[in-house]
Structure 1
């Protein structure tokens, strides 16, 4: 499906305020494009998941890649949430935001030796190991530091998450994790790894999952493997169930799984398990809390269609160009206007710089303020300076107030690491 293509008209309901902050006034003051996040909405998502987990020995580790802004991480830390990281940079951000190393888990297929050594030195809670070479590297580096690393094996349960191919991670052809058969051999040889405490299982089958069945199937396979391991004398003290809970990008069509239903499926699949549970939600906690404000530059008539050219671009929000992803787009003003069909595009010199095709909108004109919804995850976090466009500012909203948590990038900041080729050297 092409980005945002539609046969039917979306709702024209305008959003004039978020978290009691007037959006038009905010855009007038700070300019566009502009990322804004509702702290109240994030806290509500955290609270709902924590309530569903009541009575379980469970730790929520926020997937930092979804939105790594320090203010967001501080909000998570203040709510008792830890971090799921995939790089040394994300670890440093998490620690800088006040998260305890004991609440950080390190995932990812490409951890370097330097990253592993750094994570060991600060005492992170657990490594989710994704290859035998990584396991041996962890043993070697932990031995060099005289410590014991806690580790879980990420198993690939060969479960189809029924999501976009680029965010599916649990099929046998994906690069993530190892087969249950390979993991079985790791546990059988764990006595050969005196500096690795291999006592955990990890599974993550993908992102933006809108049905419970893929979760159930993956968890059932994890539960069966856990029982097998324990019967063979291998303790499983931790099970990381990953993340993947979907959100509503398209009103009326996306029906996300409720937190209570998701946790109920975990309780059912892992009934009788007494170890610690880890969860890695990212998108679920922040996506719908965020919006991208953008202003119409001009309306450009074409032979077959009209183009609505806005000042946000694919460098501010890559999901539509990268995943053909749909985002609801609505006017900030509630003024009634004639429905009109547009391709909504940005100013970047790429045909892929398109937010929506054949989208029915109220008639727009230059200067109108639009709202691209559900951009709190993988919006600013995937942004770039392509076409030498500065990174857009980020603003945290909270009950009628706002705080700029990343200012608009200056040109001088954009080129700060560049220099003329004055100093030539040989290797």
Structure 2
């Protein structure tokens, strides 16, 4: 595709996305041309943006014994997983299906950690047979079951216990995971007793401690507070004779959706490592589980304007992407910037609610957006690399969108658009 010489970035911290005279580009690929070729809705991801986000973590951990495990629930498309597997990442999984995806993408199974509050016996057997690196365990009951399953297979399960430090991450309540009222982890005050219980079980080997306080965190203070509480526990656990080989500080670092200003990964870890060093744990093996911060700003969703519908109280811009494609606004009242793929086609602007065609009043993508658009124009919904395709559904028998991964001038189709037949392939008619 053509590559005009002038460009201007429209997303702070994401120079891969920029306007040029003939429209919006991701890396060296014209997004309008992609939409014409592949149709809409269409997700497009930048390999360079993913690797740049990963590089910030790698720079932050330079010289340290650290393992970065991509939290693949953010975006589990095989092409995306390949990018991180080839860059040396491990993976944080939360289901047996995600383990299958890691293996299909060429991930290193010894760098897989299995999180989640509801692992089944079948999933435990699957993960033990594969030889994953660690189970992040979230309850006493799970410890007992995992030990039993491991012994039935003549194996020893490596475990890290997820501790709930009761630290407020100052984020949306649905993505806050480290408070007393959340379902995740074990209570901070119960942790030492539960570690002793884990160490007594024959089918388990305690190897670490885990903490994850939430998602879309935009300041360092919650991380620093959580680190203090976790290190207090490490001291107590080791004083009781139980060695902690690694400390896992989870993920949750936010991205810029709407003039958010989270610290960069390297800046955050400079602060955290200074505290770690000051407390004497700087040489310990570290693990982190970033998800959104690696892929969120690497992706856009392209969509076409179907109709402009004026109303007494609201004007509606009806697009062909919907809540089944982009669930975050409906689920979390989340903000995504929405911009034209080609600028200034329409002669005048108006304020619209940008909505999809799904039969729900909750099917909205953006509220009160000033846009100069006409039917047939294409829009780009920004920061759509995380928790969009991975949470997409077939509601209203809508096939999931196609996905493209761009690498410089190359555009690779990494997921074909689903047809209606794809959505009911596993169903059976009555005799």
Q: TM-score range by the shorter chain?
A: over 0.9
Aligned to 1:405: 414
Between the aligned partners of 2:350 and 2:198, the Cα distance in structure 1 is 64
Q: Does 1:258 align with 2:264?
A: yes
Cα displacement (A) at 1:215? 0.5
Between the aligned partners of 1:262 and 1:136, the Cα distance in structure 2 is 36
Match of 2:156 among 134, 148, 161: 148
TM-superposition CA deviations, 1:210-237 (whole Å, max 9, x none)? 0000010001100111112222222110
2:158, 2:206 within 8 Å by CA — same for their partners in 1? yes
Aligned to 2:273: 267
Q: Does 1:136 align with 2:136?
A: no
257-266 or 123-132, larger mean C-alpha shift: 257-266
Unaligned runs of 5+ in 2: 1-10, 13-17
Partner SS for 1:189: helix
40-49 or 102-111, larger mean C-alpha shift: 40-49
Between the aligned partners of 1:190 and 1:67, the Cα distance in structure 2 is 32
Cα displacement (A) at 1:199? 2.9
Aligned to 1:334: 343
Match of 2:368 among 337, 358, 374: 358
2:166, 2:188 within 8 Å by CA — same for their partners in 1? no
Counterparts in 2 of 1:190 and 1:111: CA distance versus 1, 3 Å? closer
Between the aligned partners of 1:18 and 1:188, the Cα distance in structure 2 is 52
1:341, 1:360 within 8 Å by CA — same for their partners in 2? yes
Cα displacement (A) at 1:191? 4.3
Cα displacement (A) at 1:275? 2.6
Between the aligned partners of 2:284 and 2:204, the Cα distance in structure 1 is 18
Partner SS for 1:219: helix
2:71, 2:291 within 8 Å by CA — same for their partners in 1? yes
Q: Does 1:229 align with 2:237?
A: yes
Between the aligned partners of 1:81 and 1:359, the Cα distance in structure 2 is 38
184-193 or 132-141, larger mean C-alpha shift: 184-193
Structural mapping, 1:25-424, within 5 Å = 25-250=33-258, 253-271=259-277, 272-273=280-281, 274-335=283-344, 337-361=347-371, 363-422=372-431
Partner SS for 1:359: strand
Unaligned runs of 5+ in 1: 1-9, 423-427
Partner SS for 1:161: coil
Q: TM-score if structure 1 supplies the norm length? A: 0.93
Cα displacement (A) at 1:382? 0.4
Between the aligned partners of 1:316 and 1:132, the Cα distance in structure 2 is 37
Between the aligned partners of 2:198 and 2:368, the Cα distance in structure 1 is 57
TM-superposition CA deviations, 1:74-109 (whole Å, max 9, x none)? 110000001000000000100111111110000000
Between the aligned partners of 2:53 and 2:103, the Cα distance in structure 1 is 22
TM-superposition CA deviations, 1:51-85 (whole Å, max 9, x none)? 11111110000001000000111110000001000
TM-superposition CA deviations, 1:260-302 (whole Å, max 9, x none)? 2211132123222233111000000001000000010010011
2:349, 2:373 within 8 Å by CA — same for their partners in 1? no
Cα displacement (A) at 1:331? 0.5
Between the aligned partners of 2:304 and 2:409, the Cα distance in structure 1 is 22
Cα displacement (A) at 1:155? 0.3
Partner SS for 1:49: helix
Between the aligned partners of 1:279 and 1:413, the Cα distance in structure 2 is 36
Between the aligned partners of 1:299 and 1:31, the Cα distance in structure 2 is 20
Partner SS for 1:146: coil
Between the aligned partners of 1:208 and 1:237, the Cα distance in structure 2 is 28
1:37, 1:290 within 8 Å by CA — same for their partners in 2? yes
Runs of 4+ off more than 6 Å: none
Partner SS for 1:347: coil
Between the aligned partners of 1:382 and 1:173, the Cα distance in structure 2 is 24
2:199, 2:205 within 8 Å by CA — same for their partners in 1? no
Between the aligned partners of 2:353 and 2:197, the Cα distance in structure 1 is 58
Between the aligned partners of 1:371 and 1:329, the Cα distance in structure 2 is 6
